[in-house]
Structures are given as C-alpha cells and as structure tokens.
Amino acid sequence: MLVLGIESSCDETAIAVVERGEKNAVLSESIKSQTPLHSPYGGIVPEIAARTHYEVIDLLTRQALQQAGIEIKEIDLLAFTQGPGLIGSLLIGLAFAKGLAWARKLPLVAVDHIAAHIEAPFITHARIAYPLLALVVSGGHTSLFFQETKFAGRLVAKTRDDAAGEVMDKIAKHFDLGYPGGPLLDDLYAQGDPSRFAFTEPRMSDGGNDFSFSGYKSAVLRQARSLNIRPGSRDFYDLLASFLSSLVDYMLKKTLTAMKNFPARSLIVSGGVSRNSLLRSRFERECAAAGISLYLPEPAYCTDNAAMIAWTGYEKYQAFPNLNYFDLCLNSYSRARFRENGRHR
C-alpha cells in the first residue's frame, strides 16, 4: 500500500511517500524548513508559518511523488497531521489533505502529531516490544507516556511550563545565537566544560511526577548576569555545556525512575530534542548499563517530518478498520484519537 503523508503542524512543510504492507520503506520525503524565515524573530511567527505552508505544499507534493517515481493515482491512502500544532499551519495541511482526498476519492487518516513522534522509531525498528514508555521531547512538548499497545497510551508526566526544546530556543534567543537553539547548543557543547556550573534539579512543590524546565532558563540567565559572562567567552561555553548536561541528566533520571515504576519492556525517546548528540549518547550508555531496550528514531525522523505521519496513518488505518475514512467531516476520528488528559505538553 502506498501512503502519502502530509505534515504542517509548525514550521516545517513536509510530504512523504511510504510503502507499507509486504514491503515497508520510506520512498521519498520532501521537506521545506522555514528556519531562515523565522530566524530574524528568534522564534516562530505563526502567520509566516501558515503562509509559507500554503505557498509550498503543492510543489512539495509533486516533488515527493516524483522522487518516489510514482503518480498520484497510484496512492492508496492519505495521512495528515490533525494536531496539536499552530492552528493556521494545521488548517493549510487539513484543507490540502481534504481537497486531495475528495479529488482522488482516497481514504483520509487524521494523525495525532505526538502519536507520530512515538511511532517514528518503528520506521527503522519494526519489532519494538510492548508495553513501552515513550518520552517525547520537542519544542512544543515534553511528555512521558505508558503504552500497553499501539494507540492505547496513558500520559504519566508532562512539563508544567516550557518544553525542553523551548528552553534551549529561549536561551539561544536571549544570547542572540540564532533559531532554533537546540542544534546550536548541540554544536557548541564540545567547546565547553560541562562540570563547571551546577544546576539545581527541578522538583514539584506538590511532590508530583511532572517535568519543569523554565527554572533552567532563569538559572542560566542569572549566572550569566551575576558573573558578567559574555557570549563567545570561555565561561559562556562552560555555562551552556553545563546547562545542557544537567538538562539531559534530569530527563534521563526521571525516565529511568519511570522505567522502574512501570512494567515497560522498551523505552522510546523521540521528538526534535532526541536528535541531540549528548542526549543520545547518555541515554544509550545508561540504558545499556541498566539492561533497558532503548529505541531512538533515525536523526531525520526526530524532528518534524511526514514519513512518521504516513507511517502512523497506515498503522491507524489497520488498527481501526471500522472508521469511515471517506468522511471528510472527520467526525468519526475523534473517538480513535490518541489523546489523554486533554492536552499534550
């Protein structure tokens, strides 16, 4: 079965063609990153994001089909990101997907963006054992889920303030390093001494299990101010490396504790921040030492992409055969959506 995936939740427009069934492969992926457009503002401008999706979505679809060497009439299934995300950006993907589904008389699967991030490691690892714990760390979300089976997830912890990637982006913005901050801090890490500065681990005043990251940003800014640390100095690189190291250790510690408290056979870490080199190497080392089966997406499938949307769309189509995928009102989807506790953050 050939599946066309459409992702437009944030500042990446992406279209992918995947083959599922007997053969399982990503045939093509066409991505337009809007980073240069948002960089001058140090963050995403929703109106620019939506307009850019609108301008490129058709062209990217043609490119993805061409790269895969197939024609639109050969596509069997459409999958698009229903949410969460920026509303203007999501609406462009929704309108495009509905139009294509209507014109080609194709079944249309609405995909939850977070469920797709969790599915991303399955693109390269077909057999990840359930039940599993999944840590989704991105620019919009930092959440831990326990999943008995695919699409049967329970939110067990979430951030109460910023997401992990958001904190990196805000710190980079404060020091005028550029946008997004995550990849920049990843590159700068090797230039600093991660043991130079200490950070207090966030704790919930109510004893809860959730994450909190905004204190990291305040601590970095406070240290820089009180010690008069300037960007480009040795102290500055030490401060950034110490921050990144503490942040990764904090997420690692909480995840390993959760692995002890839940009967999970596998651990997934996914989302844009799972592309971070330090995070990957520390999680790999500690999980190997603890005998935990860890699965990370390939770097290209960590950040937003359409292959994970197409992959998840196919899985959902198989898992819920009784839904009406030709209903363009999408009413029947809501029952099957992977959503717990109202919000994913």
Residues that bind ligand KG4 (CB under 6 A): 10, 138-140, 165-166, 168-169, 180-183, 186, 271-273, 275-276, 303-304
- Give the number of other Cβ atoms within 10 Å of residue 201's Cβ: 12
The entry of ligand KG4, Zn ion, none near residue 246 (CB within 5 to 8 angstroms by kind) is none
The two tokens of residue 276 are: 């971070």
The entry of ligand KG4, Zn ion, none near residue 42 (CB within 5 to 8 angstroms by kind) is none
From the CB of 331, what's the least distance to ligand KG4, in Å?
Answer: 26
Largest CA distance in the chain: 64
Polymer length of the chain: 345
Q: Which H or E run contains 47?
A: helix 46-68
The entry of ligand KG4, Zn ion, none near residue 316 (CB within 5 to 8 angstroms by kind) is none
Cα gap 266→134, rounded to integer Å: 8
- Cβ proximity to Zn ion, 256 vs 300, nearer residue: 300
Beta strands 77-83 and 132-137 are unpaired
- Check: CB of residue 270 under 8 Å from CB of residue 302: yes
From the CB of 19, what's the least distance to ligand KG4, in Å?
Answer: 24
From the CB of 183, what's the least distance to ligand KG4, in Å?
Answer: 4
Cα gap 50→113, rounded to integer Å: 17
From the CB of 186, what's the least distance to ligand KG4, in Å?
Answer: 4
The entry of ligand KG4, Zn ion, none near residue 139 (CB within 5 to 8 angstroms by kind) is ligand KG4
- Cβ proximity to Zn ion, 42 vs 271, nearer residue: 271
The entry of ligand KG4, Zn ion, none near residue 210 (CB within 5 to 8 angstroms by kind) is none
- Cβ proximity to ligand KG4, 139 vs 192, nearer residue: 139
Question: E strands along 171-317, which residues?
Answer: 266-270, 294-295
C-alpha closest to that of 336 among 316, 313, 310:
316
Q: Which residues pair with 27 in a beta bridge?
A: none
- Give the number of other Cβ atoms within 10 Å of residue 187's Cβ: 10
- Single out the residue of 12, 29, 235, 304 in contact with Zn ion (rule: CB under 5 A): 304
- Cβ proximity to ligand KG4, 147 vs 305, nearer residue: 305
The two tokens of residue 216 are: 């990291």
- Cβ proximity to ligand KG4, 34 vs 138, nearer residue: 138
From the CB of 138, what's the least distance to Zn ion, in Å?
Answer: 4
Cα gap 188→184, rounded to integer Å: 6
- Cβ proximity to Zn ion, 166 vs 304, nearer residue: 304
Which parts of 107-166 interact with Zn ion (CB under 5 A)?
Answer: 138
From the CB of 303, what's the least distance to Zn ion, in Å?
Answer: 7
Question: E strands along 173-236, which residues?
Answer: none
- Cβ proximity to ligand KG4, 11 vs 238, nearer residue: 11
| DSSP 8-class letter at 17 | E
C-alpha closest to that of 79 among 158, 178, 9, 173:
9
Confirm or reject binding of residue 12 to Zn ion (CB under 5 A): no
- Cβ proximity to ligand KG4, 53 vs 275, nearer residue: 275
The entry of ligand KG4, Zn ion, none near residue 183 (CB within 5 to 8 angstroms by kind) is ligand KG4
In Å, how far are 231, 312, 318 from 315, measured between CA atoms?
Answer: 47, 5, 5
Binding site for Zn ion (CB under 5 A): 138, 304
